[in-house]
Amino acid sequence: MQVLWFRCDVIIPSLSLGVLVVSLLIGSFFFWHEIQHEPDTERNCNMAEAAQSNWERYRAEGHQAFILGYTGEVGKELIKELAAAKLFKKVVLIGRRQVDLDTTVGPEFEQKVVDFEKLEEHSDVFEGLDTGFCALGTTRGKSGVKGFVRVDHDYVLISAEIAKARGCKHFSLVSSQGANKNSSMLYTRTKGQVEEALKVMHFDRISIYRPGVLMCDRTEERPGEKVARVLLKPISYLFPTAITTPTEIVAKALVNNVVAPSERTQELYENKAIHQLSGTSKACGTRSNQESSKSK
């Protein structure tokens, strides 16, 4: 059969073969990422398994915390986790505006409104808060190049410097998969530069998380993200630790890590490690089953 200037009996099989080949290549790419070895699997899984048993000790130590970026998707999930666990005597939510919090949030949570352009004038909000969580960030599309760098780089580092001076011992940063100070891409380069700057601030403990594409239902949709998430949903199901990370998994990893004693002053968790640390990774279940089999 011939339609217009091309033959369907030639074009359609060729096109189908091309689609098949491309699909196989894409699938192989994600499969390769999924099976990559995480060197700290045992440590990450152990921390996840011991998390709840660490809660009572951690509560008794009387820690106080702050969250930067608490109105974002990771920040909102982190509030849920902390509200349920009740780990801190006080949690200060630092942001540009007050928002309505969920009714499950307890009285230990308090919101502090600051002007990030004059953060030094609000340094007292960090006083005595020994634990910090930072999920602060925007996008180039929303804020422009200068705005993005100002928020994701300057605000983060200024906040960290003030927090450390006011008593912060353990600082946790939500960065990004692919962060690299030498990257040619603005986003990953900025994230990498922030990571390097934090490392030389000499916190007692610095924990950096590099999640993949954050999977969530955003309150504020960003251009193209809804389409991207729809396309990534089957990939997230088939290859959960390859390039995607649900926001609740990031939050669980943050909490499980903060209550765990650690001999390391600097910790870097790539996407696969975040899944393991959250306690949701199949790798941890496989490891437990193997240990059970050996003990029989």
List the catalytic residues. 187, 191
Rounded Cα gap, residues 216 and 208, in angstroms: 21
Parallel, antiparallel, or unpaired: how do β-strands 266-269 and 244-246 relate?
unpaired
* Tokens found for residue 85: 């666990």
Rounded Cα gap, residues 11 and 13, in angstroms: 6
Q: Which run of H or E residues covers position 215?
A: strand 213-215
What is the SS3 assignment for 223?
Answer: coil
Rounded Cα gap, residues 112 and 221, in angstroms: 25
Nearest residue to 214 (alpha-carbon basis) of 159, 156, 274 = 274
What is the SS3 assignment for 253?
Answer: helix
Rounded Cα gap, residues 250 and 259, in angstroms: 15
Which residues, in sequence order, are CB contacts of 156 under 8 Å at separation 6+? 68, 134, 136, 173, 194
**Residue where the block lists tokens 């993005």:** 148
| φ and ψ at residue 99, rounded to 5 degrees | -130, 165
